[in-house]
Amino acid sequence: MIPNCSLRSSTPHPPLACLQAQGETFGLPVVPIPGTRSAARVAENAASTALVLTGDQRSRLARAADLAHGTRNLDFAGPDWISAGRE
């Protein structure tokens, strides 16, 4: 378990751990590959494998994902969507 990590964390741990848990649920190998520009972020993302979600946490995250489910506007290229220069 990652110390001081909660589902309210702003780190990538909960979403990446949720993807791992979904793979386990369906018996599928899952390897999330988030994009990053720094080695520190790679280490932070890799640390998510140590986060173990409870059944209740998995259910809550699944319900939250259902709220965000839908199509995406891939034609929109707003300047605020690019993180270049902010990291």
pLDDT tens by residue, 49-75: 888 888 888 888 788 878 877 776 666
> What's the pLDDT tens digit per position in 3-49?
445 556 666 677 888 888 888 888 988 887 777 888 888 888 888 88
* pLDDT for the residue 6: 55
Q: What is the pLDDT of residue 39?
A: 87
From CA 18, how far away is CA 29, in angstroms rounded? Answer: 13
- Domain coordinates in residue numbering, the chain: 13-66
Residue 57 · residue 69 · CB < 8 Å: no
pTM of the model: 0.57
Place of tokens 């199509």: 71
